[in-house]
A and B are shown apart, each in its own frame.
Chain A
Amino acid sequence: MTGPTPDKAVDLAERRPGPTARTRSRVRRGGRRGSRLIGWLFVLPALAFYVVFVLRPITLTFQYSLYTWNGIGPSTWAGAGNYLKVFTDPDLFQSILNAVKLIVFFSAIPVLLGLAIASAIRRVAASRLALVARTVIFLPQVIPLVAAGIAWSWLLSSTGVINQVLTAVGLGGVTRAWLGDFSTALPAVGVIGAWVLLGLCTLLLLAGMSKIDPALYEAARLDGAGPLREFVSITLPSLRQEIAVCVTVTVIAALASFDIIYISTQGGPGNATMVPGLEIYYLAFSERQVGVASALAVVLMVLVIAVALPIQWLTRDRSS
């Protein structure tokens, strides 16, 4: 009676058909649950950051936008009052319009000019000139926006290089303090933005062009296509994705612009270059109207999403 009886020896738990199968499947299911848990564990740090630094501020901003609050003292419920103010106060609404106007400079010019420059560089792709051109054009992207703003405010000042050049070529009559003149301040700020964003667009478009199969061009040329035809029929359609990225990034840069304008004009002269980003900052930290500032911030966020989503949809590759 020392060892187990044969019956008992055979009758080991794992050999019993029913329970064993159940156990196995339970183990398998448990394992899947475990790996799912481990998956969440990997996501957790990033998710925590996202919740604390993105979702929480957005929620709080929305909450603040419903109150009249100076940032320190007690607050009072304002409901939709702050939103009403954003759309009825001519200064606040004008700032949104200015941002829309900036899209021409921040988005249209860099994308169109970027396409032209990228095509030109592609034609001389192998030469040293292409390398130099690429570097020079991308350089503004590397320079901090604050430095760019300072450098350009010197260039555009009444005694700056731009006016010196204009005077030298006999156009002394049009010289002015470009950033201090009501009619030229917004375009002048736009030129700085165009200069900064041109490099990014050119580089993105160049990268896209290098992916295009050279055989396509060869075939087109055999069919008698000229450079313009090649560009319209092959280059442009192949760059759909890259152009979408360029337009999205630059439109958001225009709508949410802050640094360049804060450094070069601070919204002046007379609110001519005021944009929502700067207005939010003034409202929150100088006027201490945290509620209105938050409402404008929410409006700006919705505006950016409303503009960026259709761009994504329009340029999506529908063949796939």
Chain B
Amino acid sequence: MAAGCAAPGSDAPQAENPTAAAPSTAPACGTAPVTLNAYFETGFPLPKALTAEFSKQHPNVKWDIREDQFAVITQNAPRVLADDPPDLMRLPQVSELVKDNLLKNMDGYAQAFGWDEWPASQLQQMRMAPGGKTRGEGSLYATGLNFSMTGVFYNKKLAARIGMSAPPTTLAELDDLLAKAKAAGIDPIAQFNGGATGGLAFPLQNLMAAYGPAAPINDWIFQKPGATIDTPSNLQAAQHLAKWTKAGYFWKDVNAVDYATMMSRFIDGKGLFMFNGDWESGNLDKQMAGDAGFFLMPSAQDGGELAAMSAPLAFGVGARSKNADCAAFFLNWVATDSKARDITVEVGGSHPMGPADGHMPSVKPGTVTESTLAAGAKIAEDNGAMDFIANATGAIYAKSWTPNLQKLVAGQQTPEGLLKAVQSDYKSQVGGN
């Protein structure tokens, strides 16, 4: 009871000594037996597959793994990192964790292992400027096991029925295909937008990048001062999305469809297109072998640059972790060891992290995985990697994008109102922190 009388949070973790220099030799796991404490996401086999292989190569390292659903990890991350810091942890958006001094600053490791020479866009989202306000620049606080890529999946059988022989190269072509599908009695777009997960944010952000450049969208997500989502090109994108909802391109019950329902319906052939990410490529290659394709969202202009939401599968080290060096060594191994990179592609389906010329496993031609990996290269070339607009603040997705997108579908919100409402919530959340 005595502690309850002090103001809450008076025992908050303090900032690390910021002058922590790079170790003179690259950190490693040594030869003495060590057990790493890990906190992973339930339902994703990749981290466990990697830790198993790592222990094969480094038998002195054992793992104590705890798993939870991602929503649970998101809610628990601050408390777990403060009370019982894991050596290695699947992370939600990092900015609030960095502000509370809960994550290890990884600049020293980046220098020692040479992560600074990787394509900069891979780690950009894990950087925080001093003061912990702006993301996308400054010190490194996490890295990834791989990085995902979003775009448009399509059902090749349904595409053949409307005479679509190749993916659309402009937004106008995509519109044309949607209209043809609707006329042919095919559900044009498979998407989810139910509960607290507004999946229409996927097509919306793709449309934003089709109408305008990717960089201002990232600035907004990274909370750069003065950034706004309410721009003329984003308004065009929101209006375009509203046009799609009015034309009946989404399922009538889209506001009651969750992610799992969308996937099972798409695999069942109830939808020509689906805005989603390459974490499903392996799954679709298995369940719709040969019948699923993937393309990047086309630009509104002919030959315009392409952009996609792309994010590392973020993993970090607790600020007070006891085996931080070994955990960092593992993260470096995941990105550079050729066996690890094979596992990353085979099990995870996404592009491995690491140097641009790193080892790439051979992929069966004609598969979705092949197209998504190729798309990754194209995005790197156009510098079109964006974080997800749902990650701008901790609450912007569930409390702002989702209800407003659901209202847009029901005709209770206008495209202008959608952007204004989200921008106003954003300002109060960014200012309130």
Contact = CB atoms under 8 A, between A and B. Distances in A.
Given A266-B195, A287-B429, A72 B255 contact: no
Interface residues of B, number: 45
B256 interface: yes
B255 A180 contact: yes
A67 B10 CA distance: 12
A77 interface: yes
Contact of B196 (A158, A178, A266, A288): A266
B403 A180 contact: no
Nearest to A179: B256
Interface in B282-337: none
A72 to B, nearest CB: 4
Q: Tell me if A's interface is mostly helix, strand, loop or mixed.
A: loop
B10 A270 contact: no
A268 B402 contact: yes
A74 interface: yes
B132 to A, nearest CB: 10
A35 interface: no
Contact of A70 (B10, B100, B251, B255): B100
Chain A interface residue bracket vs B: 35 or more
A317 interface: no
Contact of B406 (A59, A72, A269): A269
Contacts of B9: 69-75
Given A70-B100, A72-B82, A270 B75 contact: no
Interface string B323-357: 00000000000000000000000000000000000
Contacts of B196: 266-268
A158 B253 contact: yes
A63 B433 CA distance: 20
Interface stretch (B169-177, B218-226, B231-239, B393-401): B393-401
Given A70-B100, A73-B12, A75-B7, A268 B1 contact: no
Nearest to A288: B394
A60 B3 CA distance: 10
B281 interface: no
A180 B8 contact: no
A48 B395 CA distance: 37
A56 B3 CA distance: 11
- Most-contacted residue by chain B among A60, A69, A176, A268 (CB, 10 A): A268
Interface of A: 56, 59-60, 63-64, 67, 69-75, 77, 91, 157-158, 176-182, 265-271, 282, 285-290
Would you list the 4 A-B pairs with minimal beta carbon distance, nearest first?
A: A180-B256, A177-B253, A177-B256, A180-B255
